[in-house]
């Protein structure tokens, strides 16, 4: 890209925040162009401590912001600091992976699955300092404490939820996710459908054979603790029974379709991705990773939560923010990292589709645009 055609720092209007490596890899692979690949470097304001990648998604100039750690304790200063270098930011996207409320269903009865994408319309802050047996202390909504999202963001979210735009986002997310996986050499691909496991809320992640562990054997009610080894062990090693899994029609229908499609050549088809669905609603943000189905259900039920994450609240008070995250687990004790790469891929793909719906005065030269005149 010629130096003369690069945007100035004050011409960037979109910032994208990520924290995990899988999230960074996916959003970088989604870029259509990087602006610093030929030796040209953007200067940073003396007070700005962030690290960036700058480039283009579709017709829009974007800044990728790398967070050093999970949680709003780092995302908040990063969002505040970047304004010294990029003063024109009008849209901040927090993109990555999250836990999901597994009880979500759309109006047609379709269940949420791992790899689906969740988009925030509001955020509820959960107090990580006061976690009591049987309940969490929940702070008031961020839209009440910090002010509602700007009118422009609320209107944009209304557009994204419209039937046509929603359908366009869903189709683009699938297409862009495939391109990201190709760009990453196959990393971030869809796991097998039999890896999408949802256990009942009361089914604990512990040694299921009472003879294997005396501590887990005594764990018979929700308030009882499991052994330390169980906290870091897989479901397979603990003997968690797949026969107890919650059946989901959408998952089973997808398996049947793929088995039928591949039966002619003997393949199972279980590795083929189901098309990700896109969900809108309230996010829960906290400073801890939620690993309790009981607490998950309580917070979700009392606050109408669709997803659980850790960074969005930090940017909310500093920049107009939308959280876009892929579901990588069910926020329960059975969670693992198998789905993180694919969830990061679908989130990055959806973020690219969302950016393409954004209207700005700073379009990349050569992109088609209509100008209203009077």
Domain span at residue 144 reads 14-193+274-357
Looking at the fold, whether 299 and 169 belong to one and the same domain comes out as yes
Looking at the fold, whether 220 and 131 belong to one and the same domain comes out as no
Final residue of a domain: which of 263, 293, 311?
263
DSSP β-bridge partners for residue 97: 326
Looking at the fold, whether 207 and 144 belong to one and the same domain comes out as no
Looking at the fold, whether 140 and 78 belong to one and the same domain comes out as yes
Final residue of a domain: which of 263, 289, 315?
263
* pLDDT at site 278: 98
Looking at the fold, whether 288 and 180 belong to one and the same domain comes out as yes
Looking at the fold, whether 19 and 61 belong to one and the same domain comes out as yes
Residue 342 lies in a domain: yes
Residue 370 lies in a domain: no
Looking at the fold, whether 41 and 108 belong to one and the same domain comes out as yes
Residue 114 lies in a domain: yes
Residue 7 lies in a domain: no
Residue 2 lies in a domain: no
Looking at the fold, whether 182 and 34 belong to one and the same domain comes out as yes
User: Which contacts qualify for 132-140: CB closer than 8 Å, 24 or more apart?
Assistant: 133/223, 134/222, 134/223, 134/294, 135/295, 135/298, 136/295, 136/298, 136/299, 138/299, 138/302, 138/303
In angstroms, the CA 305 to CA 296 distance is 9
Looking at the fold, whether 83 and 147 belong to one and the same domain comes out as yes
Q: How many domains does the chain have?
A: 2
Residue 24 lies in a domain: yes
- The CATH number given to whatever domain includes residue 25 is 3.40.50.1580
* pLDDT at site 371: 45
Looking at the fold, whether 33 and 140 belong to one and the same domain comes out as yes
Looking at the fold, whether 153 and 281 belong to one and the same domain comes out as yes
pLDDT digits (tens, 9 = 90+) for 183-238: 999 999 999 888 999 999 988 888 998 889 989 998 888 778 888 888 888 898 89
Q: Tell me what percent of the residues of the chain surpass a pLDDT of 70.
A: 85
Residue 362 lies in a domain: no
Residue 250 lies in a domain: yes
In angstroms, the CA 227 to CA 157 distance is 44
pLDDT digits (tens, 9 = 90+) for 315-351: 988 999 999 999 999 999 898 899 999 999 999 999 9
The answer to whether residue 302 scores a pLDDT higher than 90 is no
142 band by pLDDT with thresholds 50, 70 and 90 = low
| pTM of this structure | 0.90
Looking at the fold, whether 226 and 313 belong to one and the same domain comes out as no
Taking CA atoms, 70 is separated from 22, 267, 284, 315, in Å, by 13, 40, 14, 13
């Amino acid at each position: 890209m010629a130096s003369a055609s690069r945007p100035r720092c004050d011409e960037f209007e979109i910032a994208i925040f990520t924290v995990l490596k899988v999230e960074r890899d996916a959003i970088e692979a989604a870029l259509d162009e990087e602006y610093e690949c030929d030796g040209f470097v953007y200067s940073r304001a003396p007070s700005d401590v962030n690290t960036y990648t700058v480039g283009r998604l579709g017709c829009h100039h974007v800044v990728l912001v790398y967070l050093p750690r999970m949680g709003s304790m780092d995302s908040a200063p990063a969002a505040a600091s970047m304004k010294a270098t990029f003063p024109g930011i009008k849209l901040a996207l927090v993109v990555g992976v999250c836990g999901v409320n597994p009880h979500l269903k759309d109006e047609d009865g379709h269940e949420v699955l791992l790899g689906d994408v969740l988009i925030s319309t509001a955020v509820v802050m959960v107090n990580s300092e006061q976690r009591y047996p049987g309940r969490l202390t929940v702070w008031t909504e961020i839209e009440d404490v910090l002010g509602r999202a700007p009118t422009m963001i609320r209107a944009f979210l209304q557009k994204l939820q419209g039937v046509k735009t929603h359908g366009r986002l869903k189709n683009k997310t699938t297409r862009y996710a495939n391109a990201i996986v190709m760009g990453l050499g196959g990393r971030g691909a869809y796991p097998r459908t039999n890896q999408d496991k949802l256990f009942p809320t009361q089914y604990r992640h512990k040694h299921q054979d009472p003879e294997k562990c005396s501590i887990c054997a005594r764990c018979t009610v929700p308030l009882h603790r499991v052994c330390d080894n169980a906290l870091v062990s897989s479901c397979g090693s603990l003997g968690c029974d797949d026969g107890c899994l919650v059946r989901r029609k959408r998952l089973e229908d997808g398996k049947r379709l793929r088995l039928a499609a591949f039966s002619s050549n003997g393949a199972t088809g279980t590795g083929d991705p189901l098309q990700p669905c896109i969900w809108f609603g309230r996010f829960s943000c906290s400073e801890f990773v939620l690993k309790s189905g009981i607490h998950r259900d309580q917070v979700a039920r009392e606050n109408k939560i669709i997803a659980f994450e850790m960074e969005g609240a930090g940017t909310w008070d500093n920049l107009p923010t939308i959280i876009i995250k892929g579901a990588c687990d069910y926020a329960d004790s059975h969670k693992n990292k198998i789905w993180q790469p694919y969830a990061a891929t679908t989130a990055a793909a959806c973020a690219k589709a969302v950016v393409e719906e954004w209207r700005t005065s700073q379009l990349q030269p050569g992109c088609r645009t209509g100008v209203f005149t009077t």
